[in-house]
Each structure stands twice: as structure tokens, then as C-alpha cells.
Structure 1
Amino acid sequence: MSDSLSPRDSRVAFDHAAEDWLAWQQTPWARVYYALVRRILSTLPDTPGRSRDVLDVLDVGGANGVDSLPFLEAGHRVTIIDSSSVLLSEAVAAAERGGLDRDRLRVEYRDLDDRPLPPPTGSAGWDLVLCHNVLHYRDDPAELVGRLVAATRPGGTLSLIAPNPAMDVLAAAVRDGNPGQGLALLDAPTRRSVTVGAMMHRLERADVEAGVRAAGAAVTGRFGLRTVIDLVSDDDLKRDPEWLRRTTELELALCARVPYRDIARFWQLICRRRD
């Protein structure tokens, strides 16, 4: 099978896998992931040079808005763009279930190949841009990074997340008990997503950082998401509420610490566009 990651194939894969994706979000390991992302985003420094408190937030490939709807709940304006109409409908439904201000939420069914990314109304750029778990599905992630930086206002913040290739190897060998698979993954350029079924590139954080700098932004924070739970093979243990609570506390303590952040399931970069 070809390793091509064509935009159409990714769109179809996500629409077909929408139900599986929503089910994944309810798993203990997904709950740890989202707890870490929420904590990291909640501690971002105030965006400088603003005379108002309401931020314009763009969630690129934001699916059902789990990462960005908390900003809507906090009173900010949120735009979610995605190529899955199914998942965008779920974002609207989630906002309505939560009684959130629909006037501050915009969703756009949009191909990520469309250029440029949409600007906020009456502004030179977005205060905060999220692009989580998207770059590895792109054949040219540096190109999208360039557009993400360009869409961020000077002094604004960009958050990037992608799977960490290091954990592919460790999880295969330790959690799955398959050292041969770990060895095969060591230098593999791609792998197939278990949940979505689409091929994805194995992106090293350092390579994406280079693209961020080339596009005119600085990396201000490096984090690792899920260092411990992805090495545990006992799924029943992961569903124990007390074990999960204590593990989440540990994950929160490890996410910014070297060397733990460097082997976690996902890497996250917080970037600031240069003034």
C-alpha cells in the first residue's frame, strides 16, 4: 500500500472513523491527554499588547473542538476549521449541550489545503492558533507550519502537537511486548494510525522546531504528553479511577521535565510569533 498521505484520503478516513475517534476520546488514556493539554494551555502567559480581554482563537483541524471549546466557555471567540463535517457537527452539538455562547463560535468545513487560513474579523491575526494532531497527516508539514505562523498575529501564540516517534518504539517493545515491531519502527518514516486508519509521518520535534523558526516564530515551551500511561499494558488498571487520578498527577509533573517529556506519546510546542 502506498505511503502517500493525500488530503482526500485523510478527509475520507476521518469522516469514516468519526465514531471511533469520539469513542477514543472517552478512554482513560485520552482523558489523560486532554487533561495535560488543558493544563498547559491554561498556563500560557497573557498575550502582550492587547487592550481587551477577549481573544480570537483558531483551532486548525479542530474536529469536535475538545481543545478549543474551553476557550469559548471562558468567554473568548473561537473558530474551528476541519475537513470532517461529522466532527464539526459534534463541536456545535457540544457547545449547545454546554450552554455556551454560539455567537462566539464559528465552524468552517474547510480543506486545510485552502490558502490562506481564514483571518479573524477585523484583526490582523489570531491571538491563539491551535494545530493539534494534524501535522503528521501532511506531506509537507513545514508548509502548513508557515501558514499557521502567518495566521498568528505578531506576539500571538501557536500551539502544535504531534505523536512522538520515540514512544512508537518504546510502546511496541514494552507495552505490547513486541521488540521486533519496535526495531521495525526505529527508522520507519511513516506508520498507520490505529484509530483513524490513515498513514501518518513520524515527525521529530526538532525538525518541526526548525520550521517554526524559519517561519518567523520562537519556541517558548516544550512539553511531552503521556509519558507513563502508554507503557502500561493493563487496560483494566487504567480504568481504575484512583490509579488514573494518581497517574494523571504524575503525568502533569513530568510533562515539562527532561528527559520524560522527550519520550512521551506526544510532543507539544508552544510558539510565539515574533513582533
Structure 2
Amino acid sequence: MSDSSPGLGVAFDRAADDWLAWQQTPWARVYYALVRHVLAALPEVPGRSLNVLDVGGANGVDSLPLLVAGHRVTVLDFSPVLLAEAVAAAERAGADGDRLRVEHRDVGDPRPLPLPADATGWDLVLCHNVLHYRDDPAELVGRLVAVTRPGGALSLIAPNPAMDVLAAAIRDGDPRQGLEMLEAPTRRSVTIGEPMHRLERASVEAAVRDAGAVVTDRFGLRTVIDLVTDDELKRDPEWLRQTTELELALCSRAPYRDIARFWQLICRRPD
């Protein structure tokens, strides 16, 4: 989740405790349940052991379930604090540590992204919640496609600008802010306090096509829970279970996926 700016890397290290605490909130748990659902449904995931690259993967929260499932995972991130937590989390989960590699690297590093030791490309590349910190997200998309093996999959996630407007007006009760959000090019991250580009899914889809890959699936993550104002209700286990079930049903359906808190693209590099 890091960018080429040293200040951003420092911000992530400084906010590491807040970031890890956020991962335990009900809304984060819904998000991770949806990500696991989408990735587990990829046709190659239940089959042979995959080489997985998690770019800007922080503490590996999105890729460690794949490690536990028997795949080989490399987590690349700017933050040594969060990479150390990825290793500790894998140990707590009882995963095979030999299948996990962490690499302390800025995604803006001009060197090519790493390749698996025994292959010319990755079977699955994750780049979740990174692109909106980049001044040139299309450049990073091109590099991600380049290290995905022919026939391999690439998963991209970023916050959806449509939900910025709805959440401001409905959840926060501030329609004026919602109106301002309609044209705002950036917003500030609540967790780390850094600016983020408001990145439309369509512009990233264009970058994927320009890089020679194909978008095969579109998902929306968290359509309902981000519009609920009652945080205590969100912590009710039965309400959360039912809401997660609803979110799972909505995540692949238009128009619900188009207004969710995050958009997710599954892309393929043609054989």
C-alpha cells in the first residue's frame, strides 16, 4: 500500500497500529470476506499451487489466505513494519513459512518487479488499494501486466469515487461535502492522513487494455455497510452475518457493484 514518496512510506509505518486496528473493525471484516470470496472463486485457485505476487501488500492480509491454502506468496511493500507483521501473521496462522517471501521495495522503484524463481511470470498478481496513491496508475498497471504470466490473473482494487459522494451525504449527513466530492480529484485517507486520487474504474480498465490484458470480471466491495450510520449495529454479530451474506450476493451484480466502497477488477493476460 505504498507509493514512491518517502513521506508516504513513513506515514504507513507511523499509522501501522491504526491500520492493524482498522482491520478488526466490522466494515474491514466485510471487505476481507468479499476479497477472499472473489479470489477463492478464481478457477485456478483450488487447483495447483500458484505463484502469487502481492504488490503493496502491507501485512499480507489479502494474500495470506492463499498462503494458508498452499500457494506460494511474495509480499512486496514499502513498509518494513507491515512486512514484519506479515511474517508474524503467517506464523500465527500456522502457514508454511517456506512458501512466504517478503520484499522491502517501493512500487515506484524503477527496477522491474520481481519474477518467481521457477517461472517467467506470476500465476496471480494482487495490487489492492495501491493505484490511487500513484500519480501515474497506468504506468504501474503496465508493469503488473508485464509480470503476470500469459493466461495468469491480475486483481486490482481501489476506492470507488461514487461511494465518496453517497457516504458524505448519507452516512456523514453532509450533502454539501457530497456535492464538493463530485468534482474533487483527491480525498484524504482517514487511516494514514495522506491524499488519495479518486480513481474511476473505467480509467483503470482502459489502462489494462492498453497494457494488453483483458478485464474478465468486475466486482463491488461493501455496497451496504458503508451507508449505515449506526456503528454499534455494525458490531452486532447476527446483523453483521446477515449483512455479509447480502454483500456477497450484491458484489457481482450491477448496479450495486457500481456504487460500492471499492471496485475490484479481475484481469487476464492472454495466452
Q: TM-score range by the shorter chain?
A: over 0.9
Among 112, 115, 118, the alignment partner of 1:116 is 112
Question: What is the rounded CA distance, in whole Å, between the counterparts of 2:43 and 2:67 in structure 1?
Answer: 18
1:108 aligned counterpart, secondary structure? strand
Among 78, 83, 88, the alignment partner of 1:83 is 78
> Residue 7 of structure 1 contacts residue 138 of structure 1 at CA under 8 Å; is this kept in 2?
no
**1:141 pairs with 2:137:** yes
> Runs of 4 or more off by more than 2 Å in structure 1?
none
Amino acid in the other structure paired with 1:102: G
Amino acid in the other structure paired with 1:95: A
**1:191 pairs with 2:187:** yes
Amino acid in the other structure paired with 1:33: Y
> Residue 4 of structure 2 contacts residue 107 of structure 2 at CA under 8 Å; is this kept in 1?
no
Among 38, 41, 44, the alignment partner of 1:43 is 41
User: For 1:163-182, what aligned pairs fall within 5 Å after superposition?
Assistant: 163-182=159-178
2:140 aligned counterpart, secondary structure? helix
Which residue does 2:32 correspond to in 1? 34
What is the identity percentage for the equivalent residue pairs of Structure 1 and Structure 2? Answer: 78
Which residue does 2:57 correspond to in 1? 62
2:107 aligned counterpart, secondary structure? coil
Greater alpha carbon shift after TM alignment, 235-244 vs 67-76: 67-76
List gaps (5 residues or longer) in structure 1.
Answer: none
Among 220, 223, 229, the alignment partner of 2:216 is 220
Amino acid in the other structure paired with 2:44: D
- Deviation per residue, 1:149-207 (Å, 9 max, x gap): 00100000000000000000000000000000001111100010000111110000000
1:91 aligned counterpart, secondary structure? helix
> Residue 130 of structure 1 contacts residue 159 of structure 1 at CA under 8 Å; is this kept in 2?
yes
> Residue 9 of structure 1 contacts residue 198 of structure 1 at CA under 8 Å; is this kept in 2?
no
> Residue 20 of structure 1 contacts residue 195 of structure 1 at CA under 8 Å; is this kept in 2?
yes
Deviation for aligned residue 1:13: 1.1
Deviation for aligned residue 1:6: 5.7
> Residue 6 of structure 1 contacts residue 139 of structure 1 at CA under 8 Å; is this kept in 2?
no
RMSD: 1.1
Deviation for aligned residue 1:15: 0.7
Deviation for aligned residue 1:46: 2.1
- Deviation per residue, 1:53-104 (Å, 9 max, x gap): 1110000000111111111111111000000000000000011111111111
2:44 aligned counterpart, secondary structure? coil
Among 82, 94, 102, the alignment partner of 2:97 is 102
Amino acid in the other structure paired with 1:67: D
Amino acid in the other structure paired with 2:267: C
Amino acid in the other structure paired with 2:72: R
Which residue does 2:148 correspond to in 1? 152
- Deviation per residue, 1:214-247 (Å, 9 max, x gap): 0010000000000000000100000000000000
**1:239 pairs with 2:232:** no
Amino acid in the other structure paired with 1:71: L
Question: What is the rounded CA distance, in whole Å, between the counterparts of 1:84 and 1:262 in structure 2?
Answer: 31
Query: Aligned residues, how many?
Result: 267
Which residue does 2:268 correspond to in 1? 272
Amino acid in the other structure paired with 1:8: P
Question: What is the rounded CA distance, in whole Å, between the counterparts of 1:200 and 1:227 in structure 2?
Answer: 20
Among 229, 243, 261, the alignment partner of 2:257 is 261
TM-score (norm 1): 0.95
TM-score (norm 2): 0.97
**1:125 pairs with 2:121:** yes
1:99 aligned counterpart, secondary structure? coil
